[in-house]
Chain A
Amino acid sequence: MFPRQNQSAKFRAALKNELPLWVEHGVISEAEARRLSDAYQLEALRAESSRLLSAVIFTVGGLLLGGGLLSLVAANWDELSRPLKLTILFAALLGFHTSGYLLWQRAGWRRLGEALLFAGCLVFGANIGLIAQTYNISGDWYGAFGAWAVGSLAVAWALRSWVIGLLALFTSFIWFTGFHNDGYDNISFLYPLAVAGTVLPLAMAAHSRVLNVGGWLGILIAVCVFAGDDGSAKQLLLAMTAAGLLVWAVGNLHRLYGWRQELANSTAALGLTTLATGAYFLSLHAVWEEAQARQLRVVFCLTLLALALAAAIAVLLRARATAQRLAFGVLAVAVLLCGSVLLALDATRLDVLFTIIANLAALLLAAIIIAIGIGEERRVPFWLGSVYVVLLVLSRFLEYETSLLLKAAAFLGCGIAVILAGIRYETYLRRQDPPPPVSQTSPTEVAL
């Protein structure tokens, strides 16, 4: 069986269209075409598309059904006694879950069943609010979202459902924002740990890229919010850079150690994007001019950095050849940026030097992203890297006082350079042999 990352619906659909042509032109025999068709389950493609559509329809239907029932109950709420209210609330919850399970497991209506179970989790959230109203419970508003997240996460794990997992992640994030802002900022670092311990393993179990990227996004935002508390830009960017390195390294570990191949690219891309964002902000001179940073979260940032370095070193040890050099480059960028921030916490006088280092690190990162695009013959990283270089150059010209003539020359130069680079890259791609239909993943590639 081929790795799951090669089984995207888009790739399989393209392969299904190409196979008859290859047979017709004698590129492969009919027997080989059948073997490819079996290996990629091309015959099941149409049925899968229909099932996806029905799953979406059923989920939307479940949402509307849940909303409609709750509105119906709410419309007659005033006339109902408290015991009757509670009976209706619990009956609705159990009704959705029971019918969802029976339809899914017993009647063979899997997608409809899952949609009803999802609606059941929405009803659970609504019930929390209605019960609070029924008993006039006053308390922290975010507590309801925390309870909703816990209940939804339990069902998501029971069903290995990424949709319900996403609901749990969303509600838990709302809880985190309230919890953090309500004076519990000293212990809000527990949130990213909780997401890492519950949502990310669920994403792996459910083979879900969406939930995986969502989970990492939640962690990244929470880490930055925690580190940047009290308005320290340096600490926030230190955490962002270290977390970016960590996420990139985890993405590569997915591929190199074969944990979840299908999560490798999106995770590594998110990590590099975060790293590039941190590098861009650190390339601004104003960040380094900031007054002495408060060292409130330095221990947290150092722990995060140590974890990221350990993961990156694990990537370095496993990767080979070009991939190892690129990984070393990413590590060097992160070390330059994080090292500069840590030194700057005590040496604000060297702001010009740190600005130059940050700009060089950002340019190095752009070069790495472009190199990944060229090495793996992928246009997106190539163009993103090129745009990043242009963004850095233009930002410097807008940041510093220079003559309009020089700025005009810089804009024109950047534009021409990018167009020329693009033409050369496209020419390079056209000279290459067409890629084979099945691109087996080498364990030495670096994921973006």
Chain B
Amino acid sequence: MNTDLKNSLAQPPRWRATLLALVAAVLLQVLILVALPARKALTLANGRPVLLKVEPVDPYSILSGYYVTLGYPISRPEAFANGNEFKHQERIYAIIERGEDGFWKPLTLARELPRELAENQLAIYGQVEYRRIEYGIETLYIPETRRHAVAEDLRLHRESAFVEVKIDAAGNAALERLHVADRVYE
């Protein structure tokens, strides 16, 4: 290892070429960091707000390290009229409809983004994963100091738990915040 370290230090590349290459490399890193949340950020900025009830995924594993795994009525394929027509890893658009209580409910699944929907309807892009549908809104990261509080709140007040989600015109969803027992986690 000593020889490797010595060799790597012994032959410095020319500084101008090194600077250009390093700038390009760091720009790539910045680009990756910007691209990573870009779609979520745009969806949060421009998306239409939607309220979804929270359902238990695994009551024995609400808290997985520093995040909670959330499930919704729209996570179950059987909740949709044609849910059994779709198989594992199939990409879908879930059509949901706003109920009278303000919460959005599952309606039907489609393989293409519907061109026209009623005013009280929306399409969310997702993927069938075995017996569930994932929309990219299943994970909520929790600060270290509030981890046990949110786990306890979800255990005691799951019926009243709901999330605020934003959905853009293409069906992309972004999780905004979680409400449990008059407390907000975001």
Contact = CB atoms under 8 A, between A and B. Distances in A.
Interface in A110-147: 110-111, 114, 117, 120, 124, 127-128, 131-139, 147
A136 B139 contact: yes
Nearest 7 A/B pairs, CB to CB: A138-B139, A158-B21, A154-B25, A207-B7, A133-B141, A135-B37, A151-B29
Interface in A276-322: none
Interface residues of B, number: 46
Nearest to A150: B32
Interface string B1-27: 111111111011101001101101110
A93 interface: yes
Interface in B123-150: 134, 136-141, 143-146
5 contacts: A8-B3, A105-B15, A111-B9, A137-B139, A138-B139
Interface in A190-212: 206-211
- Point out which of A51, A139, A158, A206 has the most chain B C-beta atoms below 10 A from its C-beta: A158
A59 B24 CA distance: 23
B33 to A, nearest CB: 6
B53 interface: no
A80 to B, nearest CB: 10
A436 interface: no
A48 B26 CA distance: 30
Contacts of B139: 136-138
B174 interface: yes
Interface string A146-174: 01001100110111111100000000000
Contacts of B32: 128, 147, 150-151
Nearest to A78: B143
Contacts of A207: 4, 7-8, 11
Interface string A77-104: 1100000000001100110010001000
B18 A55 contact: no
Given A77-B143, A93-B29, A110 B12 contact: yes
Given A135-B44, A158-B24, 7 more contacts: A111-B9, A117-B22, A132-B36, A132-B37, A151-B29, A151-B32, A157-B21
A9 interface: yes
Interface of A: 4, 7-9, 48, 51-52, 55-56, 74, 77-78, 89-90, 93-94, 97, 101, 105, 110-111, 114, 117, 120, 124, 127-128, 131-139, 147, 150-151, 154-155, 157-163, 183, 206-211, 262
Contact of B24 (A154, A163, A262): A154
B19 A105 contact: yes
A9 B9 CA distance: 14
A163 B7 CA distance: 12
A93 B37 contact: no
A127 B32 CA distance: 10
B117 interface: no
Contacts of A262: 3, 7
Contacts of B61: none
